[in-house]
Chains A and B, each alone.
Chain A
Amino acid sequence: MIRFLFKGLLRDRHRSLLPFIVTATGVMLTVVFHSWITGVIGNSIEFNARFAAGHVKIMTRAYSENSAQSPNDLAILGTDSLKKIISEQFPEMEFFERIYFAGLIDVPDQAGETRAQGPSMGIGIDMLSGNQEEIERLNIPSSLKSGSLPTKRREVLISNTFAKKLGLESGDTLTLVGSTMNGGLALYNLTLCGTIEFGTTALDRGTVIADINDVREALSMQDATGEILGFSRTGYYDNEEASLIANRFNKRYTSDRDEFSLIMKSLAEQNNMGFLVEYSGKLQGILVFVFIIAMSLILWNAGLLGGLRRYGEFGMRLAIGEEKSHVYKTMLLESLIIGFLGSLAGVTAGLSISLILQTYGIDLGSMMKNASIMMPQVFRAHITPQAWYIGFIPGVFSSLLGTMLSGIGIYKRQTAQLFKELEA
């Protein structure tokens, strides 16, 4: 029976081609749209996690109240022992110390006096211990524009735009002018070993990246750090898991009476990221739902049109004695075959396009030239397990539903009228 119908569909292109194309196109667009939206929102969340928020972040309570200003005078003390303890207590997370700082970069002339100067935002990360995780996490090797990564103390990377502005080249000396943890004046000589370009305007304006031990020495922060970032060992941010860990940590370490007690915040609780995290799922759902409804209407319409176009054929089949229920069943089965094949083709095409978008992405940097928020310049799609069925199910059932509705007319037809219709 199925083989018979399948042959019929192949031989009568008018019956199958248009519904197939419509179904495949609709499913493909649904898959691509879903993967793109998931990717764009996920990119933004993960980018912020890597560069600023972590999946969770530990600070002192006082620091967390003004964390946007990186107040290192309110930093965490005794970090060596603290890191060991929390690594044992929260084995599902990996913890990394970071010091964010603001300061001036001063470039000397031959006499050692100021030749150029500019404000900078610095990040101190582990670069020299041999553990490459932080370097990889910030995507530093692929962001390297010139020179090389630091290999010894007092070597520093600065953003390429900033280096050009200050007239700096690899090997040049520069001085960091900032505030020590105790509020004193910090002056610290560094050597430029390379320049970087993250492709994000906010980071490329004046970022300085140095080994955390150099930053500690410069800012008098021995055995101290501004923040400890925690990243899930799974590599992905899970808001529920992060919130649970933060609650466990805060019950143990946070005290309302001590402003220097520690507090852990999940990514969703930082930098207004809560909105993005909380609504990303809902937003995706709403956008995809609207899109699927629209596609379903088109596919339904295609099914209806198919049914109406074959009005004469059904009359003939009924006239020669085929039962109404049989005509209806074959019509549905045909629709199911077309829906299945169309959806299969749509999912294949949609996933292929999504894979290309996931691998290469789309560079929207030119649209964000003056953006001050931390957003990646290249946005990529993200193929999730949902993408495999999110278009497939409506693809199959929308055309089936359209056919079911249009086919009801078969039962309303009177045998006595059929010959009159055929004569006409």
Chain B
Amino acid sequence: MKKMMILFLIGFCTLQAQLPDGKKILDKIDQNLSSENRVFSSSMIIHGRRTTSTVRLKTWTAGQNKSFTEYLYPVREQGTKMLKLEEQLWIYSPSTDRIIQIAGHMLRQSVMGSDLSYEDLMEDNKLTDRYNAEVTGSEIVDGHNCWVIKLTAFVPEIAYQQQKLWVDQERNIPLREEMYAKSGTLLKKTELSDIQRINGRWYPKKIVFKDMLKEGMGTEFIIEDIEFNVQIDSYIFSKASLKK
């Protein structure tokens, strides 16, 4: 019996030793997904309960706290611009010719009825800056071997207190994510696909978001065009550029 126990403990420890360090995986994910700045055009296909609508956007992001988005389509929203600096968001609409400031908690509201919040759309924070990671096992997702990683936030005031990621072991990119509230409630699910090699990094061109607290068929977020680490005029991240 004692021998059995010893063998079991050795086997368990060996298995644990084979699991990689979660932080190292997060570093590799950040190298793929985060950048000093980026400019991208995207389409959001929002599958609501009644209709499907499409929104086209162009977004400029610098660092982790500056982001500027312009609505290109539909016509009603054309010219609407959003500027996010730190925790503040300003929205300009040409129909009212007003710059409206949106309070901090509103950043977690849905963008245009989609399954994305303003934070989801406009933030580019590194995972390593917000979460501790623990690899809990491995699974196969869409034919790819993935590490299953549990993330726990170590910063306060964060939208998703916990996350569960299925990270492709070869490309170091999450293929599936589950986001949880502090209470353990599943808030959102994402499926990342169409992973392409762009400027030496792996990047998903399509992400399907599903807000689990909302009825509807989810939102497809498609990156049509993306550039990393390009020169962005600092003027674009000022309120003056909203009305321009």
**What residues of chain A have their CB less than 8 Å away from a CB belonging to chain B?**
62, 73-74, 106, 108, 112-114, 117, 175, 177, 179-180, 182-185, 187-189, 220, 259-260
Contacts and interface: CB of A to CB of B under 8 A. Distances in A.
Contacts of B53: 182-183
A187 B55 CA distance: 17
A189 B100 CA distance: 12
Given A73-B48, A184-B76, A189 B113 contact: no
Given A108-B98, A187-B91, A74 B50 contact: yes
A177 B95 CA distance: 12
B213 to A, nearest CB: 12
B93 interface: yes
A187 B96 CA distance: 7
Given A73-B48, A220-B76, A260-B50, A183 B99 contact: no
A102 to B, nearest CB: 11
A117 B101 contact: yes
Contacts of B190: none
List of 6 A-B pairs having minimum Cβ-Cβ separation, nearest first: A183-B113, A187-B93, A114-B101, A189-B96, A187-B96, A184-B112
Contacts of B97: 112
A154 to B, nearest CB: 11
A259 B113 CA distance: 19
Contacts of B102: 177
Contacts of A108: 98
B210 to A, nearest CB: 15
Interface residues of B, number: 26
B114 interface: yes
B110 interface: yes
Contacts of A189: 96, 98
Given A73-B49, A179-B113, A185 B93 contact: yes
Nearest to A75: B50
Contacts of B113: 73, 179-180, 182-184
B70 to A, nearest CB: 13
B100 A187 contact: yes
A184 to B, nearest CB: 5
A106 B92 CA distance: 13
B77 interface: yes
A106 B95 CA distance: 15
A64 B202 CA distance: 46
A175 B96 contact: yes
A187 B48 contact: no
Interface of B: 46, 48-51, 53, 55, 76-77, 80, 91, 93, 95-103, 110, 112-114, 239
11 contacts: A73-B113, A175-B98, A179-B110, A182-B53, A182-B113, A183-B110, A183-B112, A183-B113, A184-B55, A187-B95, A259-B49
B98 A112 contact: yes
Contact of B99 (A114, A179, A185, A220): A114
Given A175-B100, A182-B51, A188-B95, 18 more contacts: A74-B50, A112-B98, A113-B101, A114-B100, A114-B101, A117-B101, A117-B103, A175-B98, A179-B110, A182-B53, A182-B113, A183-B48, A183-B53, A183-B113, A183-B114, A184-B76, A185-B93, A187-B80
Nearest to B100: A106
A260 B215 CA distance: 14
A187 B77 contact: no
A42 to B, nearest CB: 38
Contacts of A175: 96, 98, 100
Contacts of A117: 101, 103
B50 A73 contact: yes
Contacts of B101: 106, 113-114, 117
A280 B233 CA distance: 69
A246 to B, nearest CB: 24
Nearest to A114: B101
Q: Which among A74, A106, A182 has the greatest number of chain B C-beta atoms within 10 A?
A: A182
A183 B76 CA distance: 13
Nearest to A77: B50
Nearest to B106: A104
A301 B113 CA distance: 72
Contacts of A182: 48, 51, 53, 112-113
Contacts of B77: 184-185
B202 to A, nearest CB: 32
Contact of B46 (A114, A183, A185): A183
B78 to A, nearest CB: 12
A188 B76 CA distance: 12
Contacts of A112: 97-99
Contacts of B96: 175, 187-189
Contacts of A62: 49
A176 to B, nearest CB: 9
A187 B103 CA distance: 15
Contacts of A74: 49-50
A341 B72 CA distance: 84
A62 B50 CA distance: 10
Q: Which among B49, B76, B100, B101 has the greatest number of chain A C-beta atoms within 10 A?
A: B100
A184 B95 CA distance: 14
